[in-house]
Amino acid sequence: MTLELGSARSLSQSERTELFNAAYEGYVVPFHLDEATLAFIDDAFDLDLDASRIAFRDGELVGLGNLGVRGKDAWIGGVGVVTAARRTGVGETLMRALHEQARERRIRRVWLEVIVENTGAFALYEKLGYRTLRDVEVWSLSAAEDGEPAAREVPAAEAHEKVRERRTEREPWQRADASLAHYDDARGLVTDGGAAVYRRPGENVQVVQIAGDAEPLLRRLRSLGPVSILNLPDDDPAATAFRSLGATVVVRQHEMLLELEEH
């Protein structure tokens, strides 16, 4: 059976959403999205639909690979294969195709995260030349009535400037400054010793960036609703603050990097 590849731009948003959900059915961590969420991901994470690939086998869609592009850096924003076509080489073919698209755009570095329990994907990425840089974690902190008078609301730009002055770790792709620039709903919170930029979609609080003394900031944020943060490095000082407040790690991932040679 012949595997054919095409551009993700050839699909409608509804077709891409349907394929995404089919490709992640039964995944290590359940994942399901709607068209609005996919559109948000496209914009916030700079997914390049011309570079992103879809795979067909006998005319049927069997997989997809998303590629985000920012200057000389790219990010694998999900590679998934429908259940019936898994373990047949589709994932590797998609990854190699994304690398070729990256080379055509003179990308030098390709980043990705892989869930620790997804040992098959991790082995593939090592085979393709990726190396692990660090482990990152998704944290969840329950809401609680917890007044913190030292924390005060400020414009997101002001809080972001304080984060930039204090942070000690490189932000992952999803929380990088380039992602933050897409958020028109970002808010800021500061104390004398730290700062955070966050969003409040619905009743939840999503921390985008945080630096300095994180515990007072998290105490204030959890009074607004359940708090989460995506891909916080496991040795980041904020991880200690989350842990001290009784938060839990929902997902642990390896952050990996492939450095492409110039042609």
**Residue pLDDT, tens place only, 136-170:** 999 999 999 876 678 999 999 999 999 999 998 89
Q: What is the pLDDT of residue 149?
A: 74
Q: What is the pLDDT of residue 147?
A: 67
Gap between the Cα atoms of 95 and 258, Å rounded: 12
Per-residue pLDDT at 146: 75
What residues in the chain have per-residue pLDDT under 50?
none
Q: What pLDDT score does 140 carry?
A: 98
β-bridge mates for residue 187, sequence order = 198
Write phi, then psi, for 60 (nearest 5 degrees). Answer: -105, 135
Coil/strand/helix, residue 107: coil
Q: What is the CA radius of gyration of the chain?
A: 19
SS3 193: coil
Please give the helix or strand (H or E) that residue 231 lies within, else none: strand 227-233
**Res 43: pLDDT:** 97
Distances 200 to 40, 142, 205, 243 between C-alpha atoms, Å: 15, 14, 5, 22
Check residue 137 and give its pLDDT: 98
The HSE-up count of residue 236 (CA atoms within 13 Å, CB side) is 30
As a whole number of angstroms, the distance between CA 256 and CA 132 comes to 4
Q: What is the pLDDT of residue 31?
A: 83
Model confidence pTM above 0.75: yes
Which residue do the tokens 């000690």 mark? 168
Distance of alpha carbon 90 from the chain centroid: 22
Q: How many helices (H) and strands (E) does the chain have?
A: 8, 12
State residue 11's pLDDT score. 97
Alpha helices in the chain (DSSP H): 13-23, 35-44, 90-104, 119-127, 156-166, 177-180, 214-222, 237-244
